[in-house]
């Protein structure tokens, strides 16, 4: 029933701590221009726009999406904004896919941008995402909510701080080959283990940076995609699962899902896999771009995606399972631990996964990728998305 949809162009600005040389809308223009150039298209050929902009307070302008539309010179074309926190870029990609799959548009540009460096402390903003009545005054934020996950993983599965450190080291190693990554200095296990505690057990180098940057992805219906100069990357399946905002519901005896695990991602992946015809993810998926802003979250993700049994992510990672040349390369781009332009982060996962399938990932290309998976995460680890991209229609 749905129209076959492909990604035919990708543009990223490169992710840096600050971009004081441009305004927010100029940053968005930069990514849009790069995506058009990559797809060999003109802005006139784009029929609709989806903007992924996470909390307004991160950039300090309410509804900055409506400013960006004019800056791109695309008014009064259809434009829609998605904001689902960390998941924003992935949810925007899913919304973009729906624009085309519905048959209403032949082409759509999905664009996400952030200038997180312009707010002095993103965690203060993210604290305002917490329930104002029960939880905000307890200083909860994006870092300590992941600490709660790490603590439970350590308790339930015996995950160690060293295992977490190994995730950071591999991510950084991959980032060294990706010119768009924000953090590209090599780090060692000892560097991670000796970095200061932020929220126990997470240390500075277990955490993602705050980055500025933009990412754009062009999607097209089959009739347009087949004549693209790039190899069309088909969106074979997608899934999303939302859970309660209350982390405590995922810990007590009444839990359906566990805060240690990403059971919600497993559900989203099951939907995406079913649509993509994947029955054996380890065999049928060649690379994964995972939204893992903290080391512990990546362990939950690889398990939820079916790459290894629950609780074994840390061990498998130490054994090289997820290395660039391992059986299931994870985050060849360096992932979120190497660049986190919040609104654009999850879209960058989709973009990087698409580049891997196109064979256009440059120095961090994994050889022979036919199918890739990209994930997103947002809220109190409550919003999960999964998208399967492949070279086959």
CB contact at 8 A, 329 and 366:
yes
Stretch that binds another protein, among 72-80, 278-286, 295-303, 328-336 (CB under 8 A): 72-80
246 is a site residue for another protein (CB under 8 A): yes
The whole-angstrom separation of Cα 153 and Cα 164 is 11
The whole-angstrom separation of Cα 244 and Cα 39 is 39
Residue from the set 191, 248, 323, 365 that interacts with another protein by CB under 8 A: 248
Residues that contact another protein, how many (by CB under 8 A): 103
393 is a site residue for another protein (CB under 8 A): no
CB of 122 to another protein, least distance (A): 9
Binding residues for another protein restricted to 109-168, rule: CB under 8 A: 120-121, 123-129, 131-135, 137-141, 143-144, 147-149, 151-152, 155
CA distances from 54 to 57, 58, 69 (A): 9, 8, 16
What is the DSSP code (8-state) at residue 366?
Answer: P
Pick 48 or 355: Cβ nearer another protein: 48
Stretch that binds another protein, among 78-86, 211-219, 286-294, 333-341 (CB under 8 A): 78-86
261 is a site residue for another protein (CB under 8 A): no
CB of 54 to another protein, least distance (A): 7
What is the DSSP code (8-state) at residue 362?
Answer: G
For residue 292, give every residue at least 6 positions away whose Cβ sits within 8 Å of its Cβ, in sequence order, or none.
Answer: 167, 298, 301, 331, 335, 336, 337, 377
The whole-angstrom separation of Cα 197 and Cα 100 is 46
103 is a site residue for another protein (CB under 8 A): yes
For residue 1, give every residue at least 6 positions away whose Cβ sits within 8 Å of its Cβ, in sequence order, or none.
Answer: none
Pick 129 or 233: Cβ nearer another protein: 129
270 is a site residue for another protein (CB under 8 A): no
The whole-angstrom separation of Cα 158 and Cα 117 is 36
What is the DSSP code (8-state) at residue 54?
Answer: -
The whole-angstrom separation of Cα 239 and Cα 374 is 11
What is the DSSP code (8-state) at residue 3?
Answer: P
What is the DSSP code (8-state) at residue 219?
Answer: E
44 is a site residue for another protein (CB under 8 A): no
Residue from the set 56, 222, 323, 360 that interacts with another protein by CB under 8 A: 56
Site map 206..245 versus another protein, x via CB under 8 A: ---------------------------------xxxxxxx
43 is a site residue for another protein (CB under 8 A): no
33 is a site residue for another protein (CB under 8 A): no
Pick 121 or 283: Cβ nearer another protein: 121
* Residue 324: closest CA among 314, 340, 335: 335
């Amino acid at each position: 029933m749905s129209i076959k949809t492909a990604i035919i162009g990708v543009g990223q600005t490169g992710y840096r701590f600050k971009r004081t040389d441009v305004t927010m809308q100029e940053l968005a223009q930069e990514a849009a221009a790069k995506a058009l150039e990559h797809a060999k298209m003109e802005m006139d050929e784009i029929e609709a726009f989806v903007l992924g902009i996470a909390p307004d307070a991160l950039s300090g302008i309410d509804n900055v999406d409506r400013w960006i539309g004019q800056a791109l010179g695309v008014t009064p074309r259809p434009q829609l904004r998605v904001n689902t926190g960390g998941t924003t870029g992935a949810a925007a990609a899913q919304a973009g896919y729906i624009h085309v799959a519905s048959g209403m548009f032949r082409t759509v540009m999905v664009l996400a941008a952030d200038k997180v460096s312009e707010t002095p402390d993103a965690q203060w903003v993210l604290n305002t995402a917490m329930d104002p009545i029960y939880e905000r005054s307890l200083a909860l934020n994006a870092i300590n909510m992941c600490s709660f996950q790490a603590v439970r993983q350590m308790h339930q599965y015996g995950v160690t701080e060293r295992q977490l450190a190994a995730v950071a080291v591999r991510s950084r190693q991959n980032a060294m080959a990706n010119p768009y990554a924000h953090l590209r200095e090599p780090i060692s296990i000892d560097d991670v283990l000796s970095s200061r505690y932020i929220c126990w057990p997470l240390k500075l180098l277990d955490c993602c940076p705050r980055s500025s940057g933009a990412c754009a992805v062009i999607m097209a219906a089959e009739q347009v995609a087949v004549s693209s100069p790039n190899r069309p990357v088909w969106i074979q399946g997608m899934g999303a699962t939302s859970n309660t905002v209350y982390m405590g519901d995922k810990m007590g005896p009444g839990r359906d899902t566990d805060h240690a695990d990403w059971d919600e991602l497993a559900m989203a992946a099951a939907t995406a896999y079913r649509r993509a015809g994947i029955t054996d993810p380890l065999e049928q998926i060649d690379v994964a771009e995972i939204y893992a802003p903290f080391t512990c979250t990546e362990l939950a993700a690889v398990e939820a995606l079916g790459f290894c049994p629950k609780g074994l992510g840390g061990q498998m990672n130490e054994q090289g399972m997820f290395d660039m040349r391992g059986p299931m390369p994870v985050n060849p781009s360096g992932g979120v631990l190497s660049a986190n332009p919040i609104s654009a982060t999850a879209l960058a996962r989709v973009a990087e996964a698409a580049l891997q399938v196109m064979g256009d990932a440059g120095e961090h290309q994994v050889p022979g990728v036919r199918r890739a998976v990209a994930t997103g995460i947002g809220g109190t680890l409550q919003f999960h998305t999964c998208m399967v991209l492949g070279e086959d229609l």
